[in-house]
Amino acid sequence: MNYKYIREAAYEANMQLPQLGLVLFTFGNVSEADRSQGLFAIKPSGVAYNDLSPEKMVIVDFDGNTVEGSLNPSSDTKTHAVLYKQWESINGIVHTHSTYATAWAQSQRDIPIFGTTHADYNTVDIPCAPPMNDEMIKGNYEYETGFQIINCFKEKNLDYREVEMVLVGNHAPFTWGKNAAKAVHNSAVLEQVAKMALLTEQINPQAPRLKQALINKHYERKHGPDSYYGQS
C-alpha cells in the first residue's frame, strides 16, 4: 500500500467523526497531508464510515488532482487542497455539518468568546466567513470556498496557526491542525463551544464576553512559551 501513513491517519481520523457524534451518515470528511510529497489522503465521497478502510482513502495533490485511488474523493476535496496549498503548516483538515456549529454558521454570526473553554483554544471569537458572492458560487465552488476562508482570515487579521477553526456562512464548519487527529479534536471542541455559547445567551442575553486578562491567561497556560497544561 502506497502512502500508508497518511492513508491510515486519514482513515483513523475519519472514523472518529461518528464516534464523537459529529456526523450523520456521510456528512463529513477528514484529510491528512504529507508535505514532503505535496499530497493528502482524503475520504472517498458518499461512502459510509462503516465501509471505509485505509485502502479506500483517495490520494490527491494540492491542486485537487487525484493521484491514486479508484473512488471519487470527497466533494469538498478542492477546499482541502486550497487550504493545504495556501497555509503551509497544517497537515490535517476536517469538514463536518455538526449540529451546533452548523447552526451558528447558518445564523451567520461569529461565536462570542464567553468562557475559558473557548479561551483554552482561541483568544478571539470563532470567525464566521460570509456566504460567497454569486460569481464564486457559480464558478469553481469548492475551490472558492477555500479562498473564502482564507480571505475571511485576512480581513479579520487572524493567523491560521492560532485559530484552527472557522464557520462558513450558511454552510458549516471547517477545522484544521498539525495533523488529522488534531483537526478532529478541534471539530469536537468547536461543537461543544458552539453549544455552550447558545446556552449562555439563552440563560443571559446580556452575557459579557470573557475579560481580556482571562483570555490571555487560559490561552497561555495551554499554548504559551510557559505553558503548563498536559505532559511535556
List, by residue number, the catalytic residues. Answer: 120, 229
CB closer to a second copy, 85 vs 221: 221
Neighbour count for residue 228 (Cβ, 10 Å): 9
For 192, phi then psi, to 5°, come to -70, -45
Return the exposure string of 149-172: e unless at least 16 CB atoms fall within 10 Å of the residue's CB, then b.
bbebbeeeebebeebbbbbbbebb
3-state secondary structure at position 173: strand
How far apart, in whole angstroms, are the C-alpha atoms of residue 85 and residue 35? 10
Task: Yes or no: say if 156 and 126 are a contact pair by the CB < 8 Å rule.
Answer: no
CB of 35 to a second copy, least distance (A): 26
What's the one-letter identity of residue 21? Answer: G
Residue number with CB closer to a second copy (22 or 41): 22
* Contact set for a second copy, span 114-133 (CB under 8 A): 114-117, 131-132
Candidate list 43, 80, 95, 171; residue touching a second copy; CB under 8 A: 171
Give the β-pairing of 128-129 and 165-168. Answer: parallel
Q: Among 195, 219, 223, 226, which residue sits at the site for a second copy (rule: CB under 8 A)?
A: 195
Q: Which is nearer to a second copy, 44 or 54 (CB)?
A: 44
Binding mask 47-86 for a second copy (x = CB under 8 A): x-----------------------xx--x-----------
Smallest distance from the beta carbon of 5 to a second copy, in angstroms?
22
Q: Are 40 and 15 in contact (CB under 8 A)?
A: no
Phi, psi of 9 (to 5 degrees): -65, -40
Closest approach, Cβ 138 to a second copy, in A, equals: 6
Interface contacts to a second copy, rule CB under 8 A: 24-25, 27, 44-47, 71-72, 75, 97, 99-100, 102-109, 114-117, 131-132, 134, 137-138, 141, 170-172, 185, 188-189, 192, 195-204, 207-208, 210-211, 213-214, 217, 221, 228-232
